[in-house]
Structure 1
């Protein structure tokens, strides 16, 4: 396998020289005769310098200038009767132009990204004009003659402005396209991170809850051991003590796992996100889920309140769980409505679907661990831990969750109310 091109700057410099030389042959002659040629070579060279700023500008200018001198001399020898000396004298000013242009561009090399495109075009035009002056001075010194008049200088300046603004405009368009590709990739990675963080948060939440349960089980088991020991039931007391020690070991192992997962969550999930971004991600991920299930579901979002929150991962966990349940509740085709608004000091999230609703007798049991109304084709029940998980997280935020049927939608509406101060990022 060959090395990537960007690891071989000398090859890139040579390519710049070759393409610039070829582009320079597409030219216009604004003045009488062939004393001064304005071609696409300078535009191509400027574009290359803007795009390949990792290259050493001075070396690039020298190589390009020397190559163009040799290239044009070779063409003259092939199609004219000029001698090598006369041809090199004729074209050495072009070599000076590219070297001076590269030197002047190296002065602004580190500030290109800070220039507004209009300012960059003006600066490049000035560099072009100064390089042209050095080219004219070289022609004067080498050939001894020049025939420029004031109106021709004005025309030369206009050409320089048009040429540099066209090139910098093209460069800006390429830069914008590159930024869009980078942003698209960043958004993709952000979606992966959010999905990962949301799922991991749920696991961390339940692991922390399980550790609390293990702690209580350890205490209860130890109390049982002491009671049996006081009753002089040696055999059973030793057995209970062994069980207590095993529970304690499981608890310590769980704590070590929790510590590692917590660090991972803290490293992967940072910053904040607006509520609108949370809803957008929820809809996008569950749209993919609906497509995977072969369901035609339309999602609608409505926000009357939108602020940044650092608690976006637990909120994503809540809304993803409820929205995924809504997707599963809809048979083949339907609509899911997500709404966010503030009411007094509470922020309210609702997830409403057209899936048929929740039976009255199931509402009180819906958030209990292990309860489910979902069965697969073989009659095997789902775990039913999702909604109990949602309720636990809502309680963590000192909020509340309710479920009712929504006749206007034809399904169920889950409503989460959380104190705004628990969510809103402090300014």
Structure 2
């Protein structure tokens, strides 16, 4: 069925059939029944707006034929004798309406999306009026009826404008709805990409750090082997050499893993991002995080500067880690503020909260690996690598991180200073 509907000819026939049926729901705006207006025109316009990949003129001709055939059946059902020729003469003008309408709309087909609804409605109203004028003119010629009176034209203009703007309004509403859905999907995809990206960045960062440690251990093991050999401790020397060789294998495996992660990281993240966009994702993610803990937290952002950066993944990791820590530090309700400003040659990120604060005795050790004040319901301590991870990333960007002075119980403020020149994209123009 889907393949059947994808066929161009079947799509055109479906448009023509639906329009012809819609045209049977009609009103007679003038005295007598020589001119009628039905839902066919609105249906036809609606299809043309959404089916711009189809040839408009071909649609107009086939729809005109269908319309004449449908309306021409009156010679079979008319209460008084009516010849087929008379019926055709009475209805052929209706078919001309669709041909003229399609011909005029074809001029707009490739640029419809460029017009705002108000202007598009005006253009379509003009096309509708021209098409109705062509139909009326042909009826005058075929039926010998004069309908060119001012009050009739005024009524015709009002009806065409109302009808055109109604369809354009409906079309615009549907398009806006589709755009919102696409935007939501794009934003969701971006969140997923950033989540993967930050995870990959963290894993890559620590794997690179581990590579240095592995290299140092390999070198020390080989030095130990050399010393043991000089001391005629051959058996122990061989064990040290074996350890060095095994560590070397671990190093090669780690290099392969690092290469794979780096390739995946590079393929996932190929764009830059503004600081405002980055903070938007941080706030959105942590709003969900706070709701998970059933906490009522107000998030505020204050950007005194904004530019695009290619280092948004490490920046996102830094700020997101600090904000998520702030969420955990707040008991039931509170406020978390994020401020970004430039000071001399540095960009400063400030994350503050109204949580439980940090003890003075802990300030000198909070960035050490393993330090934590978080315990689960079973009393098991957390890993305590969050702030040390943040500090390592900050240092890798050539920056500094510090905790602001505040009394215990009055909240915490973290201040990150990074070189603007280092993190700002060369083509930044926010």
Q: With structure 1 as the length reference, what TM-score do the two structures score?
A: 0.89
Counterpart contact for 1:374–1:382, Cα < 8 Å: yes
Deviation at 1:140, TM superposition (A): 5.5
| Aligned counterpart, 1:33 | 32
Q: 1:370-389 alignment to 2 at 5 Å? A: 370-389=370-389
| Aligned counterpart, 2:188 | 188
SS at structure 2 position matched to 1:335: strand
CA distance in 1, matches of 2:110, 2:331: 59
CA distance in 1, matches of 2:408, 2:242: 59
CA distance in 2, matches of 1:287, 1:155: 56
Change in Cα spacing, 1:376 to 1:31, as seen in structure 2 (3 Å) is closer
Deviation at 1:132, TM superposition (A): 3.5
Q: Deviations over 1:257-289 (max 9, x none)?
A: 222222222222232222222222112111211
CA distance in 2, matches of 1:407, 1:134: 83
SS at structure 2 position matched to 1:77: helix
| Residues 1:254 and 2:223 aligned together | no
Give RMSD over aligned pairs. Answer: 2.7
| Aligned counterpart, 1:50 | 49
CA distance in 2, matches of 1:412, 1:107: 63
| Aligned counterpart, 2:233 | 233
Deviation at 1:404, TM superposition (A): 3.7
| Aligned counterpart, 2:217 | 217
Counterpart contact for 2:42–2:167, Cα < 8 Å: yes
Q: Deviations over 1:127-154 (max 9, x none)?
A: 334434543454456x352414363556
CA distance in 2, matches of 1:371, 1:153: 84
Counterpart contact for 1:357–1:405, Cα < 8 Å: no
Counterpart contact for 1:358–1:404, Cα < 8 Å: no
CA distance in 2, matches of 1:333, 1:155: 62
CA distance in 2, matches of 1:209, 1:57: 63
| Residues 1:86 and 2:90 aligned together | no
Deviation at 1:217, TM superposition (A): 1.9
Q: Deviations over 1:179-228 (max 9, x none)?
A: 12211221122122222212221111111111122222222222222333
Deviation at 1:119, TM superposition (A): 4.3
Change in Cα spacing, 1:13 to 1:304, as seen in structure 2 (3 Å) is same
| Residues 1:362 and 2:344 aligned together | no
CA distance in 2, matches of 1:25, 1:43: 12
CA distance in 1, matches of 2:364, 2:4: 66
| Aligned counterpart, 2:322 | 322
Q: 1:152-167 alignment to 2 at 5 Å? A: 152=152, 156=156, 159-167=159-167
Segment drifting more, 118-127 vs 43-52: 118-127
Deviation at 1:247, TM superposition (A): 1.5
SS at structure 1 position matched to 2:97: helix
Deviation at 1:390, TM superposition (A): 0.4
Counterpart contact for 2:357–2:409, Cα < 8 Å: no
Segment drifting more, 309-318 vs 368-377: 368-377
CA distance in 2, matches of 1:37, 1:275: 59
SS at structure 2 position matched to 1:54: coil
Counterpart contact for 2:90–2:143, Cα < 8 Å: no
Runs of 4+ in 1 over 6 A off after TM superposition: none
Change in Cα spacing, 1:249 to 1:413, as seen in structure 2 (3 Å) is same
CA distance in 2, matches of 1:140, 1:86: 14
Residue ranges of structure 2 left out of the alignment (5+ in a row): none
SS at structure 2 position matched to 1:368: coil
Deviation at 1:316, TM superposition (A): 0.9
SS at structure 2 position matched to 1:406: coil
Counterpart contact for 1:399–1:417, Cα < 8 Å: yes
| Aligned counterpart, 2:267 | 267
CA distance in 2, matches of 1:76, 1:389: 85
Q: With structure 2 as the length reference, what TM-score do the two structures score?
A: 0.88
Change in Cα spacing, 1:199 to 1:5, as seen in structure 2 (3 Å) is farther
SS at structure 1 position matched to 2:109: helix
| Aligned counterpart, 1:410 | 410
| Aligned counterpart, 2:298 | 298
| Residues 1:70 and 2:69 aligned together | yes
Change in Cα spacing, 1:190 to 1:238, as seen in structure 2 (3 Å) is same
Number of residue pairs the alignment of both structures matches: 425
CA distance in 1, matches of 2:240, 2:176: 69
Deviation at 1:162, TM superposition (A): 4.5
Q: Deviations over 1:44-74 (max 9, x none)?
A: 2112100122334344333322222222223
Change in Cα spacing, 1:80 to 1:186, as seen in structure 2 (3 Å) is farther
Deviation at 1:340, TM superposition (A): 1.9
Counterpart contact for 1:358–1:405, Cα < 8 Å: no
Deviation at 1:391, TM superposition (A): 0.4
Residue ranges of structure 1 left out of the alignment (5+ in a row): none
| Aligned counterpart, 2:15 | 16
